Structure 1
Amino acid sequence: MGDDMLRIHFSDTDLARTRIAAAPDPLWEVASSLHRLQSRRGRWAYAGWYRMARQQTRERGLGRVLRSVFLPLYPRAAYFPDFLTPADAVGDLDAGLESILATPPRRVLKEVTILDRTVGAPAWAGQLARLEARKEFVGMLRAYHDAVIAPYEEQAQSRIEAERASRARGLLDGGVEGMLSGLGPMLRWRPPVLEVVYPKQVEDRNLYLNGRGLTLVPSYFNWGEPVAFADPEMPPVLWYSLLHEPSPPDAPHGVDAPEKSLITLLGRARAVALRAASTGATTGEIARAAGVSASSASRHATVLRDAGLITTIRNGPTVLHTLTPAGASLLRAASPME
C-alpha cells in the first residue's frame, strides 16, 4: 500500500455502529463523475457513460456550466468543499440539495477558502455564501444529475445491492471485522484500525470515530480513490469504489456488457434479477435493482425459480433468492470476462 494513508480508528462501539449504505449517494456520484471527466484512469470501464455524458451535456446546454462552474468547484485533487456532498444525501437527492441550501454562509466561506488555499478556487466561489447563489447552483446540480447520473441509477443500485450481499456474507462469517476485511485493495483492516490508501492526500491522517460508527458508501463512479470528509467533526462517512467491467461500444445507456446477452435471453427485469441473485437478494432488493414493484419482482423470481435458475429460502417474513448451479452456469456463459 502507498505511504499516504487515512487511518480510521474503531472502538467496540464503533464496530457495532458501522453500516453499509443501502443506496447510492447521488451528490457523491455527481462529484465522482466530475472527477472521471478530469482523468483517463478507468476510462475503459465507463466508455458508454462518457459517450452519453458528452451527448447529454451538449444537448442540454450544460457544457459551459460543466467547464466554468462544476470542474473548478470539484477538482480531482486533495480537497474540494465538504458541503457539496452532505452526509444525509445517501439515497435522497432532494435531501442532499436541501442540505446544500441550508449550509451556514460562514461554513461555505471557510471551505471555499480552504479550496483556494489548496488548489485554487474560482473567483466567484465566495458568492455561494449567498442563498440566492446557492439556489441557482442547486438548480445546475439537479440538471446535471438528471442528464448524466440518473440514467445510471438503476445500474448503480444493482451493484450496491450485490456489494451489500457480499459484505453481509463477510459479516456472517467473521462479524463486522470480517465485513471490513474484504473492502478492496485500497482498504486494509488491521484491528482496530481501517487503513485507507488516500492517493490525493499529501500526508497521513487519523480519524477517530469516538463512538460515532462509520457509514460505508459504495460508489459507482469512484475509481480507486476512497474519500472521507476533510473535517473530522463531520459525520464519519467513507465512500469507496465498486469494481467494474468494461462496456462495449454499442451498449445502451446504463447497461454493462455482461448484461446484454442475458437481457436478450430473459428480458431486462429477469436478467437484473438473476444477476442480483448471484450474491443473494431479497424480493425487495430485486425490485429496487430492476425498478419494478415488489409483486412484479416476486413474479420474475417465480419464473426464474421454475426454470431452475434460482432457489429461494424463507426466513420469517423475508425470502432470499440465490443461484442454482444452472443459474450460475448461465451467468458465467453470459459473462466470459468475469
Structure 2
Amino acid sequence: MRTRVGGRLDPMWELVLSIHQMTRPESYFISWSRRSRRKLAAAGLLRDTELLAALAPASGYFPDFLTPVSMPADFEEGIETVLSTDKSRLHAEVGRLDAPRGSGSWLADVGAGRPAALHRLGVAMRRYHRTVLAPHRDQAAQISGRWVNRLAQRTLAHGADAALGTLGPATRWRPPVLEVAYPVRRDLHLEGRGLTLVPTFFGINHPIALADPTLRPVLVYPVHREAFWQPGNATDPPGTDALRELLGETRATVLRLLDTELTTTALAARTATSPSSVSRHTAVLRRAGLITTTRNGTSVLHVRTMMGDGLVHRG
C-alpha cells in the first residue's frame, strides 16, 4: 500500500547506469556507446570516464552515495548532494570497491573525502554528463514519461498490484513478495517503509536496489525502450496524402490514432477493420519503431513512439 511510482528519471541513476552501458553495453546501447566514446575521445575526456567507471563498475557493487535517495530535482542538485557526502560514509562505501589498476590512489582519496579528489569527481561527472547524456536528456525523458504515465494510470485504476506486476520480464509479483532476477542472492525486507519505483532509461535489463538495506527502499527499473531519434528540421507537418502514400491508408490511420494508448479491439472499431488486420498493421509499425506494444492482462495496448510522433507531426 506504500508503493510509490516515481514520475521522472533520476539524473544520478541515469549517469551511473549510462557508465555501465558505456563499458558493457547491451545490444540496444551499442551504437550509442560507440558514438559516445568517439565524442569523449575527441574532447579528451576518456580519462574522466575511466575514473567514473572505477567508482561505479558495471558488475558487482558500486557505492550508494552516487545515487542519493533524496531523488534530486536536477543534475546539479544531484552533484552537490554526492559531493557533500560525509567522510565516514565515503570511507565505508568506497572501501568496499576492488580498485582497478591505475585508479587506486584516486579512489582512496575519494574515500578519504579529500577536497581535491572530490573536486575531480565533480568535474568528471559534469564533463561526462554534458558530452554524452545532456544531448539525449529530452528524448530519454519523453520516452520514460510515456511508460511512467501508463504505469501510474494502471496503478490508479487497479492498485499497486498492477504496478508491481508490470515491471518487465525480470520481475515476478507473488504477493506479498516481488521477485527480481538479480546477479546476487539477497532479500530486502521493507518492514513497513514502502517501496519507491524509479524509472531508468539507461538501466540494465533488470531492476536494481540500493546495496545498503537500511536506506529508504528504492527499486530502479528499466522502461520500455524506443530508438534514439532526432526530429527533422522541417517546420511544416507532412500532408495527409504524403503519410498515406508512405504507409498505406490503414496504417497511416492507425498511426494517427495512437497519440493515446488504444487496444487492438479499439483500433479495429475506429478503423472499421478486423482485429486480425489491425494486428498485422501494428506489427509492421512496431518493427519500424513507430509504435510500442505492451500487454495488460488480456488486452494488448499500442501507442506511438517519438519517431511515430515525428512522422505524424514532424517535431
| TM-score where L is the length of structure 2 | 0.71
Residue 47 of structure 1, CA deviation: 4.0
- The question of 1:207 aligning with 2:188 is answered yes
Match of 2:182 among 198, 215, 229: 198
| Change in 2 beyond 3 A, CA 1:96/1:134 | same
Equivalenced residues, count: 259
Residue 117 of structure 1, CA deviation: 8.6
Residue 19 of structure 1, CA deviation: 1.5
Higher relative contact order (CA 8 A, sep 6+): 1
- Alignment gaps of 5+ in structure 2: 240-254, 272-277, 293-315
Rounded Cα–Cα distance in structure 2 between residues aligned with 1:119 and 1:240:
31
- Alignment gaps of 5+ in structure 1: 1-14, 248-253, 268-306, 312-320
Match of 2:105 among 99, 119, 123: 123
Match of 2:229 among 230, 233, 255: 255
2:38 maps to which residue? 55
Rounded Cα–Cα distance in structure 2 between residues aligned with 1:331 and 1:265:
23
Give the CA RMSD over aligned residues. 3.4
- Residue identity over aligned pairs, in percent, reads 35
- The question of 1:77 aligning with 2:51 is answered no
State the AA in 2 paired with 1:153. Answer: R
| Change in 2 beyond 3 A, CA 1:115/1:177 | same
- The question of 1:35 aligning with 2:20 is answered yes
Residue 52 of structure 1, CA deviation: 2.9
| Change in 2 beyond 3 A, CA 1:226/1:27 | same
1:293 maps to which residue? none
- The question of 1:163 aligning with 2:137 is answered no
Secondary structure of the 1:127 match is helix
Q: Bigger radius of gyration, 1 or 2?
A: 2
State the AA in 1 paired with 2:117. Answer: A
* 1:259-294 C-alpha deviation (Å, 9 max, x unpaired): 88x999659xxxxxxxxxxxxxxxxxxxxxxxxxxx
* 1:121-144 C-alpha deviation (Å, 9 max, x unpaired): 723212111234212211210110
1:271 maps to which residue? none
Residue 212 of structure 1, CA deviation: 2.0
Secondary structure of the 2:187 match is strand
| TM-score where L is the length of structure 1 | 0.67
Alpha-carbon contact 1:216-1:239 (below 8 Å) kept: yes
1:114 maps to which residue? 96
Residue 322 of structure 1, CA deviation: 5.4
| Change in 2 beyond 3 A, CA 1:197/1:224 | same
Rounded Cα–Cα distance in structure 1 between residues aligned with 2:164 and 2:74:
25
State the AA in 1 paired with 2:46. Answer: G
- The question of 1:182 aligning with 2:166 is answered yes
